[in-house]
Structure 1
């Protein structure tokens, strides 16, 4: 494997241990001790996966995760001494893909990184879903170019992550249909994703913020649907 893993951990022993195990597995591991350094790494040479501690000096892991999710769906595995359910849920709600509690087995972490790397590679290679020969989806002032993977609001391009685009594509292909959270989770994240379905709520929240004109309605106790603006 030649994927690059960014390790963000302020404990030198843990940082070096994780780095050694990942390098042994064939990954290129880049270890830093603060989220600020990790952000610089992201700007200069973005890793394919992040292994992220929560309790960091300066910017904490939650803040870093939120910042990354504004730009990308790069896989993030949180490692934390916090083992309360609320901490795990918060991490998943903010966009992490996995949560591992300290102390952990380095081999288990490597196994999770392996699975994340395979799923991410498969996701990036997957072709966009298209309906017949249609190349553009439109709903009110929103337009999706399926071939170019671009989103436009009133003719102006809006930057979206891969998952944001995929979610919007699914909803726009079948306007007015109610999708359950489980279905959206399986279709956007993949059937082997074992995180919380709250990740769906977070993704919808991000879409509503970026595209205020899009009418993604909550179907209480079930999921979401996109109201057809052409009716």
Structure 2
């Protein structure tokens, strides 16, 4: 049984979402604050999150950002704010989907089902991955079997999306990949967020691995150089 965490301070909405998800066969944990959500993440992480943005105390944005720094578990953001800037911000902070209030509970369930299936497929692929990729003179090494990354002989903790992006860039060194191609291959063709999500992912990788030769191809995308160079 897949476990869904719902962080929403409106009890009426919580009750409706809970009823529809339980009817679909999910195990649901209901919370009112992001602080409760973070405690759940640290103790018993769920398989998918449904987060409201406007919460007392820590915001849903902050909780989304914290979770995404550690995992690629699906996150669906629900919010009464339907401005484009809010939608883009939610997706760039790591949300996989964004739905505005008032919303159809059936539509929410459909989106949950879609993301759960994609997450299960990803986990299955991860477990069955084989082979090993080695980059250049050993400064960067990827082990697909164990989903591990080594930079300058030191292991670096990365999220699944960071691993996927590095795996793509390492396929053909010096080749320039467009943001659109990276977005499709890492997030999936049905992802409707901004391609700035790619920039954010590269920024996170660079922060974890200083001097990694990921080069920005201005106005286009990124490439992984055989040797260091300007970024």
TM-score (normalised: structure 1): 0.93
CA distance in 1, matches of 2:172, 2:131: 13
Counterpart in the other structure of 1:48 = 47
Summarize the alignment of residues 1-231 of structure 1 with structure 2, pairs less than 5 Å apart.
2-127=1-126, 135-139=132-136, 141-229=139-227
2:213–2:228 CA contact under 8 A, matched in 1: no
Q: RCO greater where, 1 or 2, for CA within 8 Å and sep 6 or more?
A: 1
Cα 1:139–1:31, aligned 2, differ >3 Å: closer, same or farther? farther
Shift of 1:129: 10
> What is the TM-score normalised by the length of structure 2?
0.93
The Cα shift of 1:148 comes to 1.8
Give the unaligned 5+ runs of structure 1.
Answer: none
Q: CA deviation at 1:155?
A: 1.7
Find the aligned partners of 1:127 and 1:100 in 2 and give their Cα distance. Answer: 29
User: Tell me, what secondary structure is at the counterpart of 2:158?
Assistant: coil
Structure 1 residues 83-134: Cα deviation after superposition (integer angstroms, max 9, x where no partner)? 110000111111100100111111111111111111111112125898xx95
The structure-2 alpha-carbon separation of the partners of 1:230 and 1:128, relative to structure 1 and needing over 3 Å to count, comes to farther
Pair 127,72 (structure 1): closer, same or farther in 2 beyond 3 Å: closer
Query: 2-side partners of 1:21 and 1:37: how far apart?
Result: 22
Check conservation: 2:174, 2:225, Cα contact below 8 A.
Answer: yes
Structure 1 residues 129 and 217, CA gap change in structure 2 (3 angstroms): farther
Contact 2:88–2:193 (Cα < 8 Å) also in 1 = no
Q: Is the 8 A contact 2:212 2:228 kept in 1?
A: no
Cα distance in structure 1, aligned partners of 2:194 and 2:124: 24
Q: Within 1, Cα distance between the matches of 2:101 and 2:16?
A: 13
Q: Distance in 2 between matches of 1:62 and 1:46?
A: 18
Secondary structure of the corresponding residue to residue 66 of structure 1: helix
**Counterpart of 1:126 in 2: which secondary structure?**
helix
Deviation at 1:199, TM superposition (A): 1.8
RMSD: 1.9
Instruction: Please state whether the residue corresponding to 1:108 is helix, strand or coil.
Output: helix
Structure 2 runs not aligned, ≥5 long = none
